[in-house]
Structure 1
Amino acid sequence: MDSHDLSAVRDGIAATVSACHGASKAAGWWEGTDMSDRHVVPAKLCLIHSEVSEAMEGHRKGLMDDKLPHRPMVEVELADALIRIADLAGALGLDLGGAVVEKMAYNANRADHKPEARAAAGGKAY
């Protein structure tokens, strides 16, 4: 990806973070939340994990979503996970877009992420 594409990725993620966190705040999900409480972030991370687990179950069983029945459950639960991740990133003031772009650039040059390294004995299968 060129720098223009990476900027678009960064900016798109920043917009997603802003929209998701804004919607969550407007819905009252952050009312009364004390961010100095050390249990807030772990609880939010567990909610993200539960969405990923639901996505796995939907994929395993080949289910359609019960709330958006025209979409596969795996798709909708991954959307829920993305929404929760963006919401938490917004609450914490994280530059998620910047981190994604930097991590993608790093991964693009990792020897263990190259097809030949994955195909080698003992290489990363997934």
Structure 2
Amino acid sequence: MGRIVLVVLFLAVLASVLLGGLSPKPLPQVFAYQDWLYHAAAFAALVFFARVAFPRTLTFWTVLYCLLLALLIEFVHGLMPARTASVGDMFANVVGVLLGMGLALLWKRRLLLREAAGDY
């Protein structure tokens, strides 16, 4: 996948995280813990695309920036009348960050194996 496409995908995921996280009303719940699933999936996608779009960025910085963004969003939730800050949401964000890192590592490993085999 071209780098430009990966950067655009990263920006789209970042915009989705910001729009969803900073919207004045939470998304409707259809099943229990759906909110946590949204948090984990959003931050997994954010970290994954950050790692594959910007591979030269140190992992530490990617994780730090995403965790700070998650913390900032939860802080803002506490300031909104229809939203609440939640330790559970922050836990789901951390799980998402770890999941995204794992997926990015698998992606990189797959690319390295293909490159070593000469299969581009």
What TM-score comes out, normalization by structure 1 length? 0.34
Q: Indicate the structure (1 or 2) with the bigger Cα radius of gyration.
A: 1
Greater helix share, 1 or 2? 2
> Highest relative contact order (Cα 8 Å, sep 6+), 1 or 2?
2
